[in-house]
Structure 1
């Protein structure tokens, strides 16, 4: 059986958002704790981030901002989802974010079946979420699409087939999307660990080694060039 990383690296690139926007109109976005310009902005609300990201897109003459895989962020400090007193703080992002300030269409990255879906309603969580299950060359894995619109969950059934490039959802807006500036959280997951409709998209430094193995870089599949 081939290694998943090898399989993903050889697949054709996939668009998962706004298919009519070319990768040439994407720009890399740094939301890490090491970005001093970001820290100086003192952003706290979804609206703050929406304005910051739109200004960043405008200044770079871009339409979608992307990035965030294995990025250490302060973005999650407002939410108890990531700051449970009984566990280590989770602040390392293990998916890839695609930021666009509009209710954009969301597409399946590959042929697959609906694994699960649900509305994760806690502040700072995914909001409406869809998870697909894929099998390529005997290798099974999953893709997660978070921060969707509530209507995206309508009519879905576990086990339904979806084709690569088929629209499966629409991007959500705050507060329904977990109360973030509009963006798609896209993640590859090998082992779902029996979770349904949800899977961690942020981890702690102590669990990072596991999630690096279980959640490879989504850009292996999307193939966005910075």
Structure 2
């Protein structure tokens, strides 16, 4: 008996895919341009998460915020991660500050959001606060190796900062100054080694254009 070929009637063809993509694009632009979110289409978590990421990468931040809403912690974290990944660190921080009380101790689904908050604090030279977050994450998520490197980087930055302040405050003599500078260079060498683990997020040129100027300057300063 001959076998019939598989039926493809239910398989979407290219025109259908393109039409759906166009419909989604129109919907996102509508959400972006209007202040009314009462006609929000119903999507499952997977689709809505993808739409949030797509909206942020396309610069449609208003649409992304509406898609995330305020009540669902998972979608809120997707929004924060998407904003941060695209260089909108100030907006990501604003959302993080609204849920900062939920980041300690870091539990699902807030662990990645907590890591991002730690990076933001690090780039603001708030090393002690960042170190506390990374240490808590290392305890809660032993398999998240990057936060251990992050915690070590924070401690080294604190040491460098204290030594530089010591020189500014006490104006040590030449011998003492050389000794302190030797320690600083040693810590900077260790920071450079830790930097090779790529524990910190990076951005491409397009994403860097979204970074605040001060944060860009701090990031350059923090890189040995």
Same fold (TM over 0.5): no
Computing the radius of gyration from Cα coordinates, the structure with the larger value is 2
More strand by share: 1
TM-score with structure 1 setting the length: 0.26
Task: Give the TM-score normalised by structure 2.
Answer: 0.26
Q: Which has the higher contact order (CA 8 A, sep 6+)?
A: 1
The structure where helix makes up a greater share of residues is 2
